[in-house]
Amino acid sequence: GISPNYLSDLLRKETGKSAIEHIHSHILDKAKTALLQDNIAVGQLAYDLGFDYPSHFSKLFKKLTGESPNNYRKTH
């Protein structure tokens, strides 16, 4: 019952992070777990996480972690 902007403002005030930052953090946690536990292809993981294009997932993952999903899987 609240607007997305109001929710984001409330979250930023309470946590210092916007709603999208919280969402990205949640997606990243799920992705890291799946990459380490499952033998799922990165493209399929991207679709499972709700991305329309695997490249968008890979770009976000690299932006937030500093490494590609495949590299993360190999080094952790």
Q: What is the CA radius of gyration of the chain?
A: 14
What are the Cα distances from residue 52, in Å, to 47, 57, 65? 6, 9, 21
Residue 55: burial class (beta carbons within 10 Å; 0-12, 13-18, 19+): exposed
Of the candidates 1, 65, 73, the one whose C-alpha atom is nearest the C-alpha of residue 27 is 65
pLDDT tens per residue, range 1-31: 899 899 989 999 999 998 899 999 999 999 9
pLDDT tens per residue, range 20-60: 999 999 999 999 999 999 899 999 999 999 999 999 999 99
Looking at residue 38, its pLDDT comes to 83
Please tell me the pTM assigned to this model. Answer: 0.86
Looking at residue 76, its pLDDT comes to 93
Looking at residue 53, its pLDDT comes to 98
